[in-house]
Amino acid sequence: AATGIYKQIASLRPDVIKANTILAFWAIKASNDLGIPSIWVIHESEEPLSHLAEHGPAAVRRGQQALAMAYRVVFVSHATRALYARLLIRYYYVTIHNGFDRVLYDSKSRHLNRIALRTEFAISDDKFVGLLPGTIVERKSQVDLVRAVEILPEEICAKLLIFIVGDTGSPYSSKLREAWGRLSPAKQTCIRILPHTGMIEKYFVASDFMVFTSRIECFPKVIQEAMC
């Protein structure tokens, strides 16, 4: 499998390889072996290399070795970089914060009408609408939102609607739906769990506030989107 990947990369003749997230350590190793400069962007603000532990100690060792192979290692926050400080044996490390493409957002949203969208989504005028965007995965802990709704007074839930957008059919999304199914029928109407969409801008425009439940993040996109 490794030989096939090496051949594929070599056939493309790239000037540089960008590896995204800690899980892409193998791309750094491949670029090093092929003599191609690499940039490794690390987002994970958890114990360094812990994402690789489930693949065994060999994967952890190779991930640590890869930190010294990349032409540049880019962290998206100073806090994330600080977690890796003890492993940074070279000086090829920089912090470049995540960015938000306002021009792209404006081009996708300028034609959207809030009233029309709320009609499309069957949102009544008395609803206060929240949005929790992002792939439904355990580390983003969307289930905490369901648990929060569970303890809200009924009179608040009657005026509340929250979209959880990002279901890709994972085992965790099944757990999320099971938790939702344990809510009372009245409180179930507070939450709509929806699939991943290429037009999340519709929900930005239709919503009144955004929700963020991730337990471990660096400088996540959803905060930037909410600020925008």
Has residue 1 got a pLDDT over 60? Answer: no
d(CA 113, CA 27): 43
Phi-psi group of 13: left, alpha or beta (phi > 0 → left; psi -120 to 50 → alpha; rest → beta): left
Q: What are phi and psi of 29, to 5 degrees?
A: -60, -45
Closest by alpha carbon to 205, among 114, 72, 127, 75? 114
* Per-residue model confidence as pLDDT tens digits over 45-67: 888 988 888 889 999 999 999 99
Q: Name the pTM for this structure.
A: 0.74
Pairing of strands 38-42, 191-195: unpaired
**pLDDT tens string 113-138:** 999 999 999 999 999 999 999 889 88
Please name which of 47, 92, 91 lies closest in space to residue 73, comparing C-alpha atoms: 92
**Cα three-residue angle 21-91-45, rounded to 5 degrees:** 30
